[in-house]
Amino acid sequence: MAARAKKKSGGFIKQAAILAAASLLVRFLGFVYRLPLTNMIGDEGNAIYAGGYYIYTFLLILSSAGLPAAISRLVSERIALKQYRNAHRVFHSALIISTVLGIFFALLLFLTAEKMAVLVQSPDSYYAILTLCPTLVIVAIMSVFRGYFQGMHTMVPTAISQIIEQVFNAFFSVYLAWVFLSVSIPEGMTKNIPLAAAGGTMGTGIGALAGLIVVVFAYCLIRKYLLWRVNRCKQPYEETKGELIGKVLQTAWPIIAGTAVFSITNMVDMAMVLRILVNTGFTQNEAEILYGQLSGKFVTLTTLPVTISTAIATAALPSIAASVKLKEKKQVRRKMALTYRVSMIISVPAAVGISALGPQIIQMLFPSASDGGMLLTVGGISIIFLALCQTSTGILQGIGHIKVPVVGAILGAITKVILNALLIRIPAINVLGAVLSTTGCYLVAGVFDVIMLSKLTGTRFDFMGSFLKPVIGSVAMAAGAIGSYQLFFELVGSNTIATLLAICVAIAVYGLVMLLIKGIVEEDLQAVPGGGKLTRILKKLRLL
């Protein structure tokens, strides 16, 4: 029994590692292409890009965001009970839902594009919004295939499709932005920033189409086996497509609602930031530049480290759902504890490190648009609470309490709106108020989810292993990063070289301190990309 449990846990960890590795690469590629894009279109272009993208994201959430998690859970539960025909019917039912919703919201976005742009106080986002309409249909269909594969406990097709999607996205976003930059230049401008931003968003659709082709191809490869398994399956009850469509929607809507709250908050945030900044003395152009720093730099950099915790939560959902269905209480608690621990071991040092070297990182990455470093210094801590929120949401969805994160998201959104209204209007704080409100939003949502999870499962949050030890390691790391940066900068006089070397020192210090205080154990390492190889090296060095 113990060996079986270990094997199950190992499978969950392996799938999490696969998805985490792919997600890291995807985030890295996404981050890399934003560098030339930002250097081309500037902070003003980032604001226009964000205006279109936030509206698209909101409608994408309504059309498909809840489907992968819902399908993953429903398919995993049925496969755990060997109900393969019902599991396959979940997939077919979800395809019907996604296609209908994708087409509906794509048409809605196309018909209301101009009004949507005005709604977020960014009329120049009109073209960016138009280019994203077809992407709603593509991503909606692709989400069903990814959810089906995840429900079968294989993250490989999802991982490969994400990488291919981002490669195409990165290339075409930069290329099309460059092409449109000099097309029909508006009067008073030296380059067509609105059209260039639209070129950037157009790359999103091309990337999504490439990702869809990959998952459809992967499905075709195993379709024969799936149908063979379905045909020989004997199950006590066969669910109809009508029943399953109802169950998919019933499972998906709370997930959609919770995600939609944060998406609406982003749109409200944009409108509030721009309006309040203009009302307090900034011009529209100055307000857009400040918001561009917030969306194109702060949001991009602070969401990068959360990639791993998001991937682990995604992999944990079907695994925990299957254990719940099989009534394996010990496995559920074990997977919960591991998911939290790995998430915090990665997120806490990322938050502290980005705060410690915020201005230096911005200067290194955006040499021609280097403002905004203070946003990272002040708001880096939000990474911890965002990771906590996402990890808790994945676990709650896995154990069937899908409505709890919705309440947490609403509480967080209310907090953000209140703090925005209070802080942004203070001249000395201005756009930093949005950063502080973001931290408050995720703090409230994350803590609420953790408290509710503890009450629902009777499992206490491992404060020492999941939080206090990473904080101790991160404090030592921050001291090493700041000290080494000063030393290297004096020696070489280059911010880029000094920052890169300081980051290397920071990683080494954090890893060593965590090993010495036993903040990292073998099971934690197995959950991250390359963990097996790293475990063998550390054992040879007698550090593990």
Position 55: which residue type?
Answer: I
pLDDT for 191-225, tens place per residue?
788 888 888 889 999 999 999 999 999 999 999 98
pLDDT for 302-352, tens place per residue?
877 777 777 766 666 677 777 777 777 787 787 788 788 888 888 899 999
pLDDT for 63-98, tens place per residue?
777 788 788 888 888 888 888 888 889 998 999 999
Judge whether 246 lies within some domain.
yes
User: From CA 11, how far away is CA 186, in angstroms rounded?
Assistant: 56
Using H for helix, E for strand and C for coil, what is the string for 193-239?
Answer: HHHHHHHHHHHHHHHHHHHHHHHHHHHHHHHHHHHHHHHCCCCCCCC
More confident residue, 60 or 488: 488
More confident residue, 117 or 100: 100
Judge whether 108 lies within some domain.
yes
Q: What is the extent of the structural domain holding 60?
A: 12-461
Nearest alpha carbon to residue 349 among 463, 474, 472, 469: 474
Residue 498 has pLDDT above 90, yes or no: yes
The reported pLDDT for the residue numbered 103 is 94
The reported pLDDT for the residue numbered 257 is 77
User: From CA 56, how far away is CA 521, in angstroms rounded?
Assistant: 41
Judge whether 50 lies within some domain.
yes
Judge whether 532 lies within some domain.
no
Judge whether 516 lies within some domain.
no
More confident residue, 231 or 353: 353
Judging by beta carbons within 10 Å of its beta carbon (0-12, 13-18, 19+), is residue 236 exposed, middle or buried? exposed
pLDDT for 127-183, tens place per residue?
889 999 999 999 999 999 998 998 887 888 888 999 999 999 999 988 998 888 877
Q: Which helix (H) or strand (E) holds 73?
A: helix 67-80
The reported pLDDT for the residue numbered 3 is 43
Nearest alpha carbon to residue 318 among 1, 22, 87: 87
Residue 14 has pLDDT above 90, yes or no: no
Q: In percent, how much of the chain has pLDDT > 70?
A: 92
Query: Poorest-confidence range of 37-41, 132-136, 384-388?
Result: 37-41
Judge whether 469 lies within some domain.
no
Judge whether 195 lies within some domain.
yes
Judge whether 510 lies within some domain.
no
Domains held by the chain: number: 1
Nearest alpha carbon to residue 390 among 450, 474, 333, 331: 450
The reported pLDDT for the residue numbered 4 is 45
